[in-house]
């Protein structure tokens, strides 16, 4: 203690500190790497923090290399030689703890080291980083436009769907608020600015429905909503939200509004079926288009109940009785129901079902009381059929009826989730297509492709996605399929193709597959590996021949 008393230290201050403190004396050496340091004092907090006893520390001599890395040693040597101070973080592996070491040289050859335990802070930082990474992955695979506004960075991170909605490269990742506001329709900028400012000022949820102008000049409608996020101290530091393209909904809404105005101006419509009923549901007007669609004549139905001659079957299997119930409900309930699309099947006199679009509007008396209703309906069977055909063409290969490349890519990423693991992707190549086209013509080549498609349909489950990628290449997505099962499927395909004699040419396939087993693996890399394995199989077949 005599040596300690000779130093200009107030040890009583160290004794009362809530952080570790230790005083070292340096034993000079020309070589820093072999310089010894001796512990001449440590306060109670030091022993408690490192779980040590006084006899384990007092008078102990050691080399810095036992505890510090090269860079930290250099900092400490510089502090000692210059009589200055430094600070750095250090990890203590025995107790898996992190500390901040604050070092200063009060007088040579002594060093004072103050120790703060920051283990809990580091753990929280790691947990936060892990949570943010999970959020990033969620944003990337989500099916709608999602965003996260970091106030401290003044950046808004978004997922691929958000970027796609606004016509940006899907890998753009983030944007500034000014970028977003610069794309808001000029007529909506003032409104949106006020909504954003109000949401951030009051720390309340944000919602805005407005137009956006894309880089190509096109205009879309969006619904943009967000929820503020506060830290543990109650300070607002982020907002997360979603963006939805409502352009189609807006267009339909405008059409419905126009149709309602037309109904109000004229009950009898040339092209649409129009029926008027009184408050009790008795038919008054039944126009020619309504006669044609239902099969009933006006004279047969006048004065009779609507439910007997206008029978609707909606998608939820409720019939026209539900329609009448809503007609008798209050106006707000009717507006809630009929401000949207109303699609149903109309059961005509012959019992046939016709796809129709329908709407109705109340007939008001001068005093505002409801006298009855006007029902307007249109045959949309042809439109529905065309929509089905368009959907089929957009997702299906014309020649084989299998899914096409576009659908496969979307399905691959939609199915890319933990619950689908192990996830197998199988790539197949038709070996003899060119030879068949050269020898027998493209018609026979098409037959060979179709025979391959038919064989593949029989080899896979209903939930598997089979697609023709183009030309002679096929691809199959097999969720919840292990490598062992995939190998057995491969062998069955090779056997079935060898046994196929429906075409002039031999049905020969090269098959490769790859399996994603961990959530962190890239599904695109799995597809690439499956393609490589297919080419390896093709090469091995050529070598064997």
C-alpha to C-alpha distance for 1 and 544, rounded to whole angstroms: 87
Residue 309: φ, ψ to 5°: -130, -5
Between CA 183 and CA 251 the distance in angstroms is 20
**Alpha helix (H) residue ranges in 58-97:** 70-82
Q: What is d(CA 175, CA 213) in angstroms, rounded to the nearest whole number?
A: 16
Q: Do residues 173 and 140 lie in contact, with contact meaning Cβ atoms separated by under 8 Å?
A: no
How far is residue 58's CA from residue 41's CA, in Å, rounded to a whole number?
7
d(CA 174, CA 267): 53
Close Cβ partners of 6 (under 8 Å, ≥ 6 residues apart) = none
In this structure, are residues 240 and 229 in contact, taking their beta carbons and an 8 Å threshold?
A: yes
In 374-482, where does DSSP find H-type helix? 381-395, 405-414, 433-440, 442-459
CA distance 251 to 341: 11
Residue 203 φ/ψ region, left for φ over 0, alpha for ψ in the -120 to 50 degree band, beta for the rest: left
Q: What tokens were used for 210?
A: 């407005």
Closest CA to 374 of 457, 271, 461, 278: 278
User: Is 472 noted as a catalytic residue in this protein?
Assistant: yes
The per-residue DSSP string of 140-194 comes to: HH-SSEEEEEETTTTEEEE-HHHHHHTT--TT--EE-HHHHHHHB-TTTHHHHHH
Alpha-carbon 537 to chain mean position: 35
Which residue carries 């936060």 as its tokens?
128
Is there a contact between 138 and 69 (Cβ–Cβ < 8 Å)? no
Q: Is residue 156 within 8 Å of residue 148, measured between CB atoms?
A: yes
Report d(CA 452, CA 436) in Å as an integer. Answer: 13
Contact yes or no for 114/101 (Cβ under 8 A): yes
Calpha distance 474→488 (Å, rounded): 18
CB 147 within 8 A of CB 129: no
- Which residues fall within 8 angstroms of residue 214, CB to CB, at 6 or more apart? 166, 167, 183, 220
Backbone angles phi, psi at 153, to 5 degrees: -95, -15
Mark 73-87 as b/e (b = at least 16 C-beta within 10 Å): bebbbebbeeeeebe
Compute the distance between CA of residue 140 and CA of residue 148 in angstroms, rounded to an integer. Answer: 12
Indicate left, alpha or beta for 453 from its phi (over 0: left) and psi (-120 to 50: alpha): alpha
Which residue is catalytic, options 332, 472, 496, 531?
472
As annotated, the active-site residues are 472
């Amino acid at each position: 203690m005599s040596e300690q008393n000779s130093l200009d230290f107030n040890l009583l201050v160290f004794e009362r500190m809530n952080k570790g403190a230790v005083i070292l004396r340096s034993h000079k050496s020309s070589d820093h790497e072999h310089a010894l340091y001796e512990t001449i004092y440590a306060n109670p907090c030091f022993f408690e923090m490192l779980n040590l006893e006084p006899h384990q520390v007092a008078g102990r001599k050691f080399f810095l290399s036992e505890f510090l890395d090269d860079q930290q040693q250099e900092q400490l040597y510089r502090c000692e030689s210059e009589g200055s101070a430094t600070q750095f973080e250090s990890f203590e592996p025995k107790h898996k703890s992190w500390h901040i070491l604050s070092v200063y040289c009060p007088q040579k050859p002594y060093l004072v080291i103050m120790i703060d335990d920051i283990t809990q802070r580091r753990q929280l930082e790691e947990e936060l980083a892990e949570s943010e990474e999970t959020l990033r992955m969620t944003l990337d695979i989500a099916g709608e436009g999602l965003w996260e506004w970091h106030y401290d960075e003044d950046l808004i991170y978004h997922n691929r769907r958000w970027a796609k909605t606004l016509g940006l490269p899907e890998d753009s990742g983030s944007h500034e608020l000014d970028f977003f506001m610069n794309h808001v329709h000029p007529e909506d900028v003032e409104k949106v600015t006020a909504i954003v400012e109000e949401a951030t000022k009051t720390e309340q949820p944000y919602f805005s429905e407005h137009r956006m102008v894309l880089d190509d000049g096109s205009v879309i409608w969006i619904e943009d909503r967000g929820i503020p996020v506060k830290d543990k101290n109650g300070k607002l530091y982020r907002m997360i939200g979603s963006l939805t393209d409502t352009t189609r909904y807006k267009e339909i809404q405008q059409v419905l509004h126009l149709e309602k105005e037309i109904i109000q101006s004229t009950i009898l419509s040339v092209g649409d079926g129009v029926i008027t009923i009184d408050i009790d549901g008795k038919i008054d007007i039944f126009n020619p288009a309504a006669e044609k669609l239902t099969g009933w004549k006006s004279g047969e139905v006048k004065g009779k109940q609507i439910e007997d001659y206008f029978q609707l079957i909606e998608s939820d299997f409720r019939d026209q009785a539900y329609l009448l119930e809503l007609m008798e409900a209050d106006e707000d309930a009717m507006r809630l129901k009929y401000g949207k699309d109303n699609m149903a099947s109309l059961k005509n006199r012959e019992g046939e079902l016709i796809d129709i679009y329908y709407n109705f509007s109340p007939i008001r008396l001068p005093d505002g009381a409801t006298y009855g209703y006007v029902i307007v309906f249109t045959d949309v069977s042809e439109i529905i059929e065309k929509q089905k055909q368009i959907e089929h063409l957009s997702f299906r290969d014309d020649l084989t009826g299998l899914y096409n490349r576009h659908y496969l890519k979307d399905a691959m990423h939609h199915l890319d989730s933990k619950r689908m693991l192990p996830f197998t992707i199988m790539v197949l190549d038709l070996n003899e297509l060119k030879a068949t086209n050269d020898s027998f013509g493209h018609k026979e080549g098409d037959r060979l492709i179709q025979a391959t498609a038919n064989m593949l349909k029989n080899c896979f489950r209903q939930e598997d996605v089979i697609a023709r990628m183009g030309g002679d290449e096929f691809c199959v997505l097999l969720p919840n399929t292990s490598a062992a099962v995939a190998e057995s499927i491969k062998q069955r395909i090779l056997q079935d193709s060898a046994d196929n004699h429906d075409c002039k040419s031999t049905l020969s396939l090269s098959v490769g597959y790859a399996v994603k087993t961990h959530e962190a693996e890239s599904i695109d890399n799995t597809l690439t590996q499956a393609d490589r394995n297919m080419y390896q199989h093709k090469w091995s077949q050529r070598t064997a021949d």
